[in-house]
Amino acid sequence: MTESLTIDQLRTHLLYEMDQVDEIKLFYTLKKMKIKKIGDLNTYKACIVLSEANLPITSNSVAWLLGLNTAQALTRLHRLGDHFFLILDKQKEEKELNKYEWKLHPYFKSIFYGDRR
């Protein structure tokens, strides 16, 4: 039986899950990927948590979760795409509000999760 969550409860749960992401493992995974300017890990962690919850990684979802405006979130997502942390998935239909969605890059997933995924 699934329990219904309010939007605030969902955000609180996702923020809790972000705190559970192993920052040391994430940092060294990014170093192994040769990312030089890592900066704040919160955007990385937000993308991981959204992906694990099977929620879309979009500028709107990241902005909502991190308390940013959508332009800031979009800039961060494009930067993570440049670092091969994310891939832009353009296969959404035109009629959808968020027709572009980001996915975790398979290279990142192979290092971070290992054989688990």
The Cβ of residue 19 has, within 10 Å, a number of other Cβ atoms equal to 9
Q: What is the pLDDT of residues 52-78, one digit of tens each?
A: 999 999 999 999 999 999 999 999 999
Question: What are the chain's domains?
Answer: 7-116 (1.10.10)
The Cβ of residue 34 has, within 10 Å, a number of other Cβ atoms equal to 8
48-54 LR contacts (CB < 8 Å, sep 24+): 48/18, 48/21, 48/104, 48/112, 49/14, 49/17, 49/18, 49/21, 50/14, 51/103, 51/104, 52/17, 53/14, 53/17
Average pLDDT of the residues of the chain? 90
- pLDDT of 1 reads 44
Among residues of the chain, what percentage have pLDDT more than 70? 88
User: What pTM value is reported for the model?
Assistant: 0.87
Contact 65, 44 (CB under 8 A): no
Q: What is the pLDDT of residues 74-94, one digit of tens each?
A: 999 999 999 999 999 876 555
- pLDDT of 29 reads 96
